[in-house]
Structure formats: structure tokens, C-alpha cells
Structure 1
Amino acid sequence: VHGDLTTSNMLVVGNRIFVIDFGLGDFSNELEQHGVDVHLMLRSLESTHPSLVQPLYAAFLEGYAEVRGDDMRRAVEVKVKEIRRRGRYVVERRLRR
């Protein structure tokens, strides 16, 4: 896992994207850690590129699936949704009131 997966830790060179700064990275197969990484990426997109969240996140997940496989992508997407429903990420819960 990267540990700080944000658009600030990506370089775009031509049509390629390079992930940099693995200082907080770790090796893990724990779904929770992968979900937290992807959740942070989604939050980064929401705060820095709000008008482009949907296409950028879809492209990110497509690339994620190419590297990690479709099963892992699906599992991480479910985990991200779970994370977003937790305490400090209460947007969904606030909307239900």
C-alpha cells in the first residue's frame, strides 16, 4: 500500500502517470489498508478536482484493476464504501436525516 495516495504524489509525463513518495508505504494484503489508500485517493480527487471526480476515479479504478485484478478492485470498492460510512465520513448518514 502507498500510505499517502493523493494526486500530489503523482507525476504526469505525457500520457503516463507515475506514483511517487513511498515513504509511508508498506507491504500488506489487508483489504482495510488497500481500502484506506483508495479512499484517500478518492478524497484527494474530490478536494482538488471536484468537477472531474467521476471520470478520474473511474480511470483510476480501471488502472487499479489492471494491476490488482477485477476481484481485488471490486473488493476494494466495497471497502471504500464501508469506510465512507464511518464516523468522520458521515456525508451519507447526514443526507439520510
Structure 2
Amino acid sequence: MYIKYAVWGLLILSSLMLLLIVLRNRSSGRLLSALGLNVVVAAFLLYGLNLLSAYTQVDLPINTATIGTVTVLGVPGLLLLVGLKLILI
């Protein structure tokens, strides 16, 4: 039971420290906003692919691994995941 409170306390403390760093340094705020934008675009790309799955018969789960791959690699990462899905399954 105490571990639950410790985890929540650690989460709140780390969030406050991250907010302090972002507010002190403008370049880190730009970096975090660019990363956040890339994550949102990756999620929309995966969601759009899943909407078209009735036509393409390819559906990819939206989880941290797929979003991370598409965030880092972009559209080639999405094509990589589609290729892996078609080859392995």
C-alpha cells in the first residue's frame, strides 16, 4: 500500500521537475513540443491506417512500440511496420 503512494509521489515530483526545466529553458520547451507533435502525428497515421484496414486488410495496434517506431522513423517507419506485418503474418 505504501508503494502505491511512493510511486504517485515520485510521478508528481518528476512532473514538477520537468515543468521547472521547461519553464527555465526555452530550447527544451521547443524540443518537447516538437516531440509531442511527432507523437500526435504518429498516432494519427496509425489511426488512419486502421481506419483503412477494411480495404487494405492491414491493421496495426496503437501501442507504445508502434507509436515510438513511427515517431522516430516517420512514414518509412509506418511502411516498415506494415511490411513486417505482411511478411510475418
* TM-score (structure 1 length as normaliser): 0.25
Which structure: greater helix fraction?
Answer: 2
Which structure: greater strand fraction?
Answer: 1
* TM-score (structure 2 length as normaliser): 0.26
Relative contact order, CA 8 A, sep 6+: which one is greater? 1
